[in-house]
Amino acid sequence: MAHDGTSGRGAALFDVDGTLMDTVQLHTVAWWEALRQSGRTVAMTDIQRAVGMGSDHLLDALAGEDRDRAGDTALTSAHDALYAQFWSRLAPLEGAADLLRACAGRGLRVVLASSASGKEADVMLQSLGAGDAVDAVTTADDVDSSKPAPDIVRQALDRAGVPPGRAVFVGDAVWDLESARKAGVTGLGVLTGGGYSREELLEAGAARVYRSPAHLLGQLDACPLGRLTARD
SS3 82: helix
Q: Helix H segments across the chain?
A: 24-37, 44-50, 55-63, 72-84, 96-105, 118-128, 151-160, 174-182, 198-204, 213-218, 224-230
Domains of the chain: 11-23+91-230 (3.40.50.1000), 24-88 (1.10.150)
Residue 3 has pLDDT above 50, yes or no: no
Angstrom distance (rounded) from CA 156 to CA 152: 6
pLDDT in tens, 31-52: 999 999 999 999 999 999 999 8
> Which residues are paired to 168 by β-bridges?
12, 186
pLDDT at residue 154 greater than cutoff 90:
yes
pLDDT band at 9 (very low <50, low <70, confident <90, very high): confident
3-state DSSP call for residue 65?
Answer: coil
DSSP bridge pairs for 53: 51
Report the pLDDT value the prediction gives residue 4, as an integer from 0 to 100.
Answer: 36
At 88-122, the pLDDT tens digits run: 999 999 999 999 999 999 999 999 998 777 788 88
Neighbouring residues of 210: CB distance < 8 A, sequence distance ≥ 6? 188, 189, 190, 191, 216, 219, 223
In this prediction, what percent of the chain has a pLDDT beyond 90? 77
C-alpha span between 90 and 20 (Å, rounded): 11
Q: Which residues make beta-bridge pairs with 62?
A: none
pLDDT tens per residue, range 174-190: 999 999 999 999 999 99
189-224 pLDDT, tens digit per residue, is: 999 999 999 999 999 999 999 999 999 999 999 999
pLDDT single digits (tens) 48-72: 999 988 888 899 999 998 888 899 9
Q: Which pLDDT band holds residue 230 (cuts at 50, 70, 90)?
A: low
Torsion angle defined by CA atoms of residues 169, 150, 112 and 232, in that order, rounded to the nearest 10 degrees? 50
> What does the alpha-carbon distance between residue 166 and residue 84 come to, in Å, rounded to a whole number?
36
Contact 219, 213 (CB under 8 A): no
- Ranked by mean pLDDT, the top range of 3-12, 147-156, 157-166 is 157-166
Q: For residues 180 and 205, is the Cβ–Cβ distance under 8 A?
A: yes
Q: How far apart are CA 117 and CA 144, in angstroms?
A: 13
How far apart (Å, rounded) are the C-alpha atoms in residues 51 and 121?
15
Average model confidence (pLDDT) for the chain? 91
Please enumerate in sequence order all residues whose Cβ is within 8 A of that of 24, keeping only pairs 6 or more positions apart, or say none. 17, 18, 48, 51, 52, 172, 193, 194, 195
